A and B are shown apart, each in its own frame.
Chain A
Amino acid sequence: MTERINVDDVTTERALDLYREMLRIRRFEDRVYQLFLQGELPGTLHQYQGQEAVAVGACQALNDGDWITSTHRPHGHALAKGVTVRSAMAELYGKATGCCGGKGGSMHLGDPDVGMIPAIAIVAGGVSVVSGMGLAFKMQRNGHVALCFFGDGASNEGAFHEGLNFAAVQKLPIVYVCENNMYGASTPFTATSLVPNVADRVAGYGIPAVIVDGMDVLAIHDAVSEARQRAAAGDGPTLIEAKTYRFAGHSRGDARGYRSRDEEAEWKEKDPLVRLEYSLLNAGRAQESTFARILDEVNTELEDAVEFSRQSPDPRPEDALTDAYATPIGTGTHS
């Protein structure tokens, strides 16, 4: 049975916007998976289906000028932060029109124009780096906030503990969003921690930690808004632990033998898209046709992005040799 979420405090227009944002990610991921299986996309994929509410709720709570860091699973974060579907898709195709010009790829999506550094595929890498982003904002007194997405598994890295403690002591304007999807690759979080929540670990650093329903976009949005305010006011970082689930395997070709189909089915019941749709329908706030129309529009946007990517030029081979330094330094004999 689908569990309703509280939609009383949000306008219908806003709720439908959030729905559309989540659906765009869901359909992007589904489409990308097909393209991958068809051999159109190189490399590997870490997919985001199931976790859409976290990226969308969090990014919608940010202001212009705020930045995010992301992980090896960045597609949802990128789209939610405003990387265009075209430039994200083209990047997965390795095309010159991609958001990183074909140099980054799936694990490094990002675009400074929308406030997202290239996603960091080293687990917990973002937790280190975000300290400096927050530090810069504090020194620049610009009121901006940095938001760091990371997984449950990342909380086992030294970088997590050093980064959090430093940011706490310095009262940096940072919001940490931990997406606890219960697994780091094949390893259950519970096999790696004697405390059940990532939030429990944060007590040692003297900053607030909030656990939220990661399948409820509105709950995430509210929690992040509050944390953002606190950060911007100079009161320091907050950690938000979103309890969520990835519907797909860890990466392509993961047969998910380490978790049960029952557990998966249980979490599918909490699908953040279905829940929002169901709650709005139930409250008489939207019609089935509204959702059908949004789906149509999102699909059109996606097909446009696929076509755009297919038509886009490859990078030129010589582009491989630029961008390592601000000014080329000329290193030795190359052939």
Chain B
Amino acid sequence: MSVDENSPSGSTRRSVIEYFVGGGLLVSLASFLYPVMRYLVPPPVVDLGGDEVIAAKVGALKPNSGEIFRFGNHPGLLILAADGTYHALSATCTHLGCTVQYRADMGEVWCACHNGTYGIDGRNISGPPPRPLDVFDVHVRGDEIYVSRKREA
């Protein structure tokens, strides 16, 4: 740099210009990058599920079997236990998110990904799942089976 160190006025003038140029470049860079970053961050998805869905028709399930139903954007699992009671659970494994299934031969809910098992009450029994599955309420109205989120206590 060929700035005269002894001339304070010269160096201030120069540094003011440097600030403007540098700051301007930074601001324009930020204005380029910001939309790109925002573009890469996906917008939040609204869960269209509401609080209640019709999971199945009465009689669609044989005793001791289960079926996946859609609960908004997520899969749910409706089980008709051997004793004739309905159970509805979230079908998303609490381990790493695979979709679980009902195993008639075990009478349990099973995740194929890493061999996790849950009871029909959602309790994690064995394997890697760290937490129980969410449990939903089941109501039979007419010939339809309604599943709804549990009311927060």
A binds B: no
